[in-house]
Chains A and B, each alone.
Chain A
Amino acid sequence: MGYFTKFGDFQFDVLREIGNIGAGHAATALSKLMQKEIDMKVPQVSIIPFDQVADCVGGAETVVVTVFLRVEGDSPGNMFFILDMDSAKHLLHQITGIEKDVYEWEELEVSALHEIGNILTGSYLSSLADFTQLNLQPSVPALAVDMAGAILSYGLIELGQAGDVALTIDTAFFEGNEKVKGNFFLIPDPESLPILFRALGVPFDGN
Chain B
Amino acid sequence: MEIIKIGMADLGVAKAPSRLRTTGLGSCVGVVLYDSIHKIAGMAHVMLPESSLAKGGELTVGKYADTAIPFLIDQMEKAGASTRHLVAKLAGGAQMFAFLGNNDTMRIGPRNVEACKLALKDAQIKIVAEDTGGNCGRTIEMDATNGVLQIRTVNQGVKEV
For residue A70, which residues in chain B have a CB less than 8 angstroms away from its CB? Answer: 100, 103, 105
Q: Give Cα distance in the complex from A63 to B28, angstroms.
A: 17
Whether B24 contacts A162 by the Cβ 8 Å rule is: no
Choose among B26, B100, B105, B137 the residue that contacts A158 (Cβ–Cβ < 8 A): B105
Expressed in whole angstroms, the Cα–Cα distance for A51 and B23 within the complex equals: 10
Within 8 A of A (CB), among B54-79: 54-57, 60, 63
* Tally of contact residues, B, Cβ under 8 A: 35
> How many angstroms between the C-alpha atoms of A188 and B154 in the bound complex?
29
Contact assessment for A160 and B57 in the assembled complex, using a CB-CB cutoff below 8 Å: no
Looking at the assembled complex, report how far the CB atom of B21 sits from the nearest CB atom of chain A, in whole angstroms.
11
In angstroms, Cα B140 to Cα A33, docked, is 39
Q: How far is the CB of B99 from chain A (nearest CB, A)?
A: 6
A160 to B27, CA, bound (A): 13
Would you call A144 an interface residue if the criterion is a C-beta within 8 Å of the partner chain's C-beta atoms? yes
In angstroms, Cα B98 to Cα A111, docked, is: 14
Contact partner, B154, options A51, A68, A147, Cβ 8 Å? A147
Looking across the interface, which residue of chain B has its beta carbon closest to that of A147? B137
Q: Which residues in A have their C-beta under 8 angstroms from that of B60?
A: 164
Pick the residue among B7, B9, B24, B108 that contacts A150 (CB under 8 A): B24
Q: Which of B8, B9, B136 contacts A146 (CB 8 A)?
A: B136
CB contact under 8 A between A153 and B48, given known A51-B7, A147-B154, A162-B57: no
Across the interface, B23 reaches (CB within 8 A) one of A60, A157, A161, namely A60
CB-based contact A161/B54 at 8 Å: yes
Q: Give bound CA distance, A3 to B137, whole Å.
A: 32
State the 8 A-B residue pairs at the shortest beta-carbon distance, nearest first. Answer: A149-B24, A150-B137, A150-B26, A60-B24, A142-B97, A147-B137, A51-B7, A60-B23
B interface with A by C-beta (< 8 Å):
7-10, 23-28, 47-48, 53-57, 60, 63, 94, 96-100, 103, 105-106, 108, 135-139, 154
Q: Which residues from chain A sit less than 8 Å from chain B, CB to CB?
A: 2, 49-51, 54, 59-61, 63, 68, 70, 139-140, 142-154, 156-158, 160-164
